[in-house]
Structure 1
Amino acid sequence: MEINFKEIFTAGMILFAVIDILGSIPIIVDLRARVGKIQSEKASIVAACIMIAFLFVGESILTLIGIDVNSFAVAGAFVLFFLALEMILGIRLYRDEEPKTASIVPLAFPLIAGPGIMTTILALRAEYQTINIVFAIILNIIVVYVVLKLSGQIERLIGTNGLGVIRKVFGVVLLAIAVKLFATNVKGLFN
């Protein structure tokens, strides 16, 4: 295992696009308005623990139920594809119940470390070294923490239209990543 800055950067950008913390600022601001204080530190730490734990035990869980990493990566490509469509087209394909409090449950899971990120982590594991993915997760959690802390200021600075543009740009990046992930892993299904 060796540290590869290119892998850390690429995995970090993929995770950043899937987490979509900047696109989640309106949800975070709404949560803050409804329940008062947001526990940024707690949410960030719990999300990091969920992601890192899934990175290490996710593949074992798959093996236990008889699914290979290539199959999961192809399924992950489909999930990323639909997440990208949501971001680009501004539609909601996945509907979750509205959170009642701004504690660990709505922030750490599913907003930060939701099903999309878990699928992405296992898909990344098929292509990148584990140590580089861990660094990418940690860098993203630092960004998530800063955004949670400064969400009100960021919203005022960028504005609703700016957040919309950022969301669409990352949606296109995510769509390209989904296509690459599918193309890379679909061959493994037929070997």
Structure 2
Amino acid sequence: MGKQSKKIQKTVSKKEPLLSSVLKEEVQMYDEFIDIPFVPIGHEKEIVIRMYPLFKPEKVRDCVADYFSFIAQCKKEQIVIQEVEVDDILGYFIIKHFTNAKLTKGKKAKTVYDEFKILINSHFYKELISYFPEESIKSVHNRRFELIETVGKMEKQFNQINEELAKLPLENREAIEKAFGKIGIDQSADEVVNNKPIQ
């Protein structure tokens, strides 16, 4: 009986491209921009504002962190922010992070708030905001709500821990409170949102 020859099929393995190279084209869409000509009332010279309609996730993160830093600074400077102003203040930071408009680099809340009030009362503000896609605007609001929810959960956990600590004997409580203090149980909501180091 003759021997039957078996054909061995070799599997040719194709080198898979790096994931980053596959996603590179997708990420490049965030570099797309629109130039918007604008003539301020009382001026003859045209200003061109470059805006980026598609919001890069890391810039959304930075935009919302900037917003929360401003809110925290307002508390320190005792500047009262009305609830009705919240959306427009977010709009201010959207313009700051997703256009090339020159805005103040000042850290004082009053400086930023005064500039915000000028911007919000100009016809330029509403016009410029209208150019941003709804989905882009929504991504900033969603990020804000996510952080508020996260901080709320953390505060609730911290309160529960504090309640449990209060039930312990004094000597045990002091030792545990000292340990928990090092991992951030005493941090405020603003510090958590802005990733501030624990003192």
> TM-score of the superposition, structure 2-length normalised?
0.31
Structure label with greater radius of gyration: 2
Larger RCO (CA within 8 A; separation ≥ 6): 1
| Structure ranking higher in helix proportion | 1
Scaled by the length of structure 1, the TM-score of the pair is: 0.31
